[in-house]
């Protein structure tokens, strides 16, 4: 399925060369319509497999977060030894496939080096 843009404020949703749905900006600016189409394109581009998300967590601290889709990350942290003992951390994560791939590559290299040193 794909979006064919016809002009400002006009597009159609097509599949296998056939129009399925006409999209028109009735009460939206060109910028709003373009933003809507961009979000719709992201949804249509989703693969059948699960999205990838990588999170670093070290010594009780949330670190770098990367994802191949934009997301709202919510972490509920409960530790009776902390003050306060319950926290909710929220972070907006933009899509960053290249950053995610780089983060995973670095982690894999570190694992390989660590394994190489082990007896």
Which pLDDT tens digit goes with each residue over 5-36? Answer: 988 899 999 988 898 899 999 999 999 999 99
**Chain mean position to CA 54:** 10
10 Å CB burial of residue 72 (0-12, 13-18, 19+) is exposed
For 20, list phi and psi in degrees, rounded to 5: -105, -35
- Give counts: helices (H), strands (E), the chain: 2, 7
Whether residue 101 is predicted with pLDDT greater than 90 in this model: the reply is yes
Q: Are strands 71-78 and 86-93 parallel, antiparallel or unpaired?
A: antiparallel
> Where residue 106 falls among pLDDT bands split at 50, 70, 90?
very high
- The pLDDT score that the predictor gives to residue 46 is 63
Check residue 64 and give its pLDDT. 93
pLDDT digits (tens, 9 = 90+) for 38-97: 888 887 776 556 788 999 988 878 899 999 889 999 998 888 888 888 989 999 999 999
What is the reported pLDDT for 32?
93
How high is the pLDDT of residue 114? 85
Question: How high is the pLDDT of residue 48?
Answer: 56
Contact 65, 54 (CB under 8 A): yes
């Amino acid at each position: 399925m794909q979006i064919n843009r016809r002009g400002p404020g006009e597009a159609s949703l097509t599949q296998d060369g056939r129009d399925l749905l006409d999209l028109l900006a009735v009460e939206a600016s060109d910028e709003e319509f373009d933003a809507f189409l961009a979000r719709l394109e992201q949804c249509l581009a989703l693969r059948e497999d699960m999205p990838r998300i990588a999170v670093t967590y070290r010594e009780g601290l949330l670190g770098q977060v990367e994802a191949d889709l934009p997301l709202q990350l919510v972490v509920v942290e409960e530790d009776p030894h902390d003050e306060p003992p319950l926290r909710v951390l929220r972070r907006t994560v933009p899509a960053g496939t290249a950053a995610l791939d780089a983060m995973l590559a670095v982690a894999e290299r570190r694992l390989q080096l660590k394994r190489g040193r082990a007896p």
